[in-house]
Amino acid sequence: MIAETVIILVLLLVIIGLVYQFMFDVWLFVLLGASIFYALFLAIEIVTARKKKALLKTEVKLQPKKVSKTAMKAAPIDADIAKLKAFIQSNLKKGFKEKVIRNALHKQGWSKDKVNKAFKASK
């Protein structure tokens, strides 16, 4: 996206320069306007990236339950999968990518098996 914007701005400068026979005032005005536009574009991109990162950090952190081996055999895994499924669906609706959600869950201590089952259940 950024590369396309830069290419368009360069082509615009060339066209304006040719039309006005390289009039310095017009060229300088367009260059200044393009630079301001590009700076605003970058600022907006940085702000939205930080907001997404902040949302991921403030999202309710799910912690795996510590349960004994006998209780694990007796208790169904469905409760954990349901929590993970709700977490995954809410973050997908917010625009987070699957890879980012998976990494966040792995950092919180969830096993790959449970995460995979929850993603399959949420689809």
DSSP string, 70-103: HHHHHS-THHHHHHHHHHHHHHHHTT--HHHHHH
Among candidate residues 57, 74, 97, the one where a domain is terminated: 57
> Domain check: are 72 and 43 in the same one?
no
From the centroid of its chain, how far is CA 56? 9
- Listed residues 17, 36, 57: the one ending a domain: 57
Average pLDDT over residues 55-75: 58
Domain that holds residue 46: 2-57
The mean pLDDT of the chain is 78
Q: State residue 77's pLDDT score.
A: 58
Output the six-digit token pair for 109: 């201590």
* Same-domain status, 86 and 53: no
pTM for this predicted structure: 0.40
One domain, residues 49 and 69: no
3-28 pLDDT, tens digit per residue, is 788 888 888 877 777 666 656 666 67
